[in-house]
Structure 1
Amino acid sequence: MKTSGLGIDSSRIQAMMEQLKAHAAKPQASVPAIQTEQPAAKVQFSDALKDALDAVSASQSKAEALGKRFQMGDDSVSLSDVMVSMQKSSINFQATIQVRNKLVSAYHDIMNMQV
């Protein structure tokens, strides 16, 4: 497995890409069992990417909110909850950075192709 400087291997990037594909396929799964002749609505890549980025942002906001509640002395929030939430947020962000790096690399590869 190839490991980048941030410590995330390519299998995690592949797993995130699979999650993006699964997320993109969700609206198609909600089509009723009775099929009409109209094709299913296509999901735009930009919409799937925006939804994934929104999910990362939401996990970061949740981690920050839990951290603030813990700092303010909220007894319903434990330190372990805060740490787990922060780690999930960090992993989500790092995976997003790796996907971005792969997309930029693919863009450069395409731009450097000779026609």
Structure 2
Amino acid sequence: MTTNAIHSVLAMMKVTAQKAAGNVVTLSAPTTAGAGFISELNSSIKQINGMQVNAQRKAEKFELGMPGIALNDVIVEMQKASLALHFGIQINNKLINAYQEVMNMAV
């Protein structure tokens, strides 16, 4: 996930907190921030899936004995896919925690 997507989520959370506090909030482009975040989220999920598929294909090629595929390449690809998945899960957990914190704010 890019820094811009994270900043847009933080901006949306600040706006929600200000609205809950009763402050008047104006945004220059409210729809683009949300759409940008959704597109970044979808892109990140697709990228993680692509890394997992790539690692699986490389492992299958190694198992079939195709030339040019070394064990260390397979292990590196699998580790990259694993790290990307765990990072995505952590981002998901942080977003859920942030959402729950906003929802539990006193109005």
Larger radius of gyration: 2
TM-score normalised by L of structure 1 = 0.65
Any residues of structure 2 matched to 1:35-114 within 5 Å, and which?
42=32, 44-114=36-106
- Distance, in Å, in 2 between the alignment partners of 1:45 and 1:23 is 5
Identity, % of aligned positions? 31
- Distance, in Å, in 1 between the alignment partners of 2:73 and 2:88 is 23
Higher RCO structure (Cα 8 Å, ≥6 apart): 2
Please list every run of at least 4 consecutive aligned residues from structure 1 whose deviation after the TM superposition is greater than 3 angstroms.
none
- Distance, in Å, in 1 between the alignment partners of 2:40 and 2:78 is 24
- Distance, in Å, in 1 between the alignment partners of 2:86 and 2:40 is 18
User: Aligned residue for 2:2?
Assistant: 20
Amino acid at match of 2:58: L
- C-alpha contact 1:20 1:49 (8 A) present in aligned 2: no
- C-alpha contact 1:59 1:89 (8 A) present in aligned 2: yes
Unaligned runs of 5+ in 2: 7-31
Cα deviation for residue 21 of structure 1 reads 2.3
Cα deviation for residue 20 of structure 1 reads 1.5
The alignment partner of 1:75 has SS state of coil
- Distance, in Å, in 2 between the alignment partners of 1:78 and 1:53 is 27
Unaligned runs of 5+ in 1: 1-18, 25-41
